[in-house]
Amino acid sequence: MKKLLITMLFILTMNVQSFAQQMIPKQKGFEISYSVFPKSPEKQNYVFAAGLISYGKNGRYVFGRAEYSRKYFEYRDYDIPIDTYLLNAGYSFYSVGESMRNVNLNLGIGALGGYEQVNRNKLILHDGSLLNTTESFVYGFSGRLSLESYLTEHLVFIVDGQLRFLQNSPLGTLHSLFGLGLRYNF
């Protein structure tokens, strides 16, 4: 009878859903994301990013990301490719969320630094026009608003919007992004 009772209790406890603690201080996570620039021309403009996060108190976290972006600048009938390699480091504040913290709205600020390359470092365009610059170091800061939803106790789905201010960029100083991402907390 004891064996049957222990077996029944074991089966019942395996079927009970347990709620994991989320956003524990010093918990780490790995994040990947794909973003697009609004109002892109026919060719796809995109940003790939991967990085690490570390949670602090009250759902806040520090993040560090490496990003690659490809954007096209329209010139007559030719699209000039612009590749950007950035490092983005900053802090995200927990703003609003439900009591179980399964869905959260976070506001983040970050510093940006990196390298931008225009037309694959070729000074002359196909029509003979000459570019003033083909490469530059860029720097600035960013603001990020993200909606984060826990799919499982370790997997987080992220929808975010970013506004960036980049100095020395041939495309201008303000850039906006809309993106989707996944984070795995370990």
Q: Is 75 helix (H, G, I), strand (E, B) or coil?
A: strand
Question: Would you list the DSSP string of 104-163?
Answer: EEEEEEEEEEEEEEEGGG-SB-TTS-B-S-SEEEEEEEEEEEEEEEESSSSEEEEEEEEE
Provide the pLDDT for residue 162: 95
Distance of CA 25 to the CA centre of its chain: 21
What is the spatial distance between Cα 109 and Cα 168, in angstroms, rounded to a whole number?
20
| pLDDT confidence tier of residue 172, bands split at 50, 70 and 90 | confident
Provide the pLDDT for residue 48: 96
Helices (H) and strands (E) in the chain, counts: 1, 8
Provide the pLDDT for residue 13: 45
Distance of CA 134 to the CA centre of its chain: 26
Buried b (16+ CB within 10 A) or exposed e, 146-157: bebebeeeeebe
Q: Considering only CA atoms, which of 96, 75, 70, 100 is closest in space to residue 85?
A: 70
DSSP state of 95: E
Q: Considering only CA atoms, which of 70, 174, 74, 176 is closest in space to residue 117?
A: 70
Domains recognised in the chain with CATH numbers = 26-185 (2.40.160.20)
Rounded to the nearest 5 percent, the helix, strand and coil shares of the chain are 10, 60, 30
The predicted-structure confidence for 96-128, as pLDDT tens digits, reads as follows: 988 787 899 999 999 999 999 988 777 777 777
The predicted-structure confidence for 39-48, as pLDDT tens digits, reads as follows: 766 667 899 9
